[in-house]
Amino acid sequence: MPANPETLLSTGEHPLFGELKKNWGWLLALGVLSIVLGTVGLGMTFALTLATILFFGVLLIVGGTLQLVDAFKCRGWRSTLWHILIALLYVAAGLLIVVDPALASGTLTLIIAGILVAVGVLRLVMAFQLRATEGWLWTLVAGLISIALGAMILAEWPASGLWVIGLFVAIELIFNGWAYVFVALAARRAEG
Check pLDDT > 70 for residue 9.
no
> Quick one: average pLDDT of 61-66?
95
Label residue 77 by pLDDT band (50, 70, 90): confident
pTM here?
0.67
Label residue 54 by pLDDT band (50, 70, 90): very high
Q: What's the number of domains the chain is made of?
A: 1
**14 in a structural domain:** no
User: Between the CA of residue 67 and those of 72, 137, 156, what are the distances in Å?
Assistant: 9, 48, 38
**167 in a structural domain:** yes
Label residue 1 by pLDDT band (50, 70, 90): very low
CA dihedral 70, 76, 82, 88 (to 10 degrees): 40
**7 in a structural domain:** no
**26 in a structural domain:** yes
Q: What is the pLDDT of residue 184?
A: 82
**11 in a structural domain:** no
Q: What is the pLDDT of residue 17?
A: 67
pLDDT, tens digit, 9 for 90 and up, residues 94-145: 999 999 998 999 998 999 899 989 998 998 999 888 888 888 888 889 889 8
CA angle 100, 159, 54 (to 5 degrees): 30
Q: What is the pLDDT of residue 4?
A: 52
Check pLDDT > 70 for residue 40.
yes
CA 37 to CA 47: how far, in whole Å?
13
Check pLDDT > 80 for residue 15.
no
pLDDT, tens digit, 9 for 90 and up, residues 147-192: 998 898 899 888 888 888 888 889 888 988 888 888 788 777 776 5
**191 in a structural domain:** no
3-class secondary structure for the chain?
Answer: CCCCHHHHHHCCCECCCEHHHCCHHHHHHHHHHHHHHHHHHHCCHHHHHHHHHHHHHHHHHHHHHHHHHHHCCCCCCCCHHHHHHHHHHHHHHHHHHHHCHHHHHHHHHHHHHHHHHHHHHHHHHHHHHCCCCCCHHHHHHHHHHHHHHHHHHHHHCCHHHHCHHHHHHHHHHHHHHHHHHHHHHHHHHCCC
**12 in a structural domain:** no
**17 in a structural domain:** no
Dmax (CA) for the chain in angstroms is 60
The radius of gyration of the chain from alpha carbons, rounded to an integer in Å, stands at 23
Q: What is the pLDDT of residue 144?
A: 92
Domain that holds residue 27: 22-186
Check pLDDT > 80 for residue 14.
no
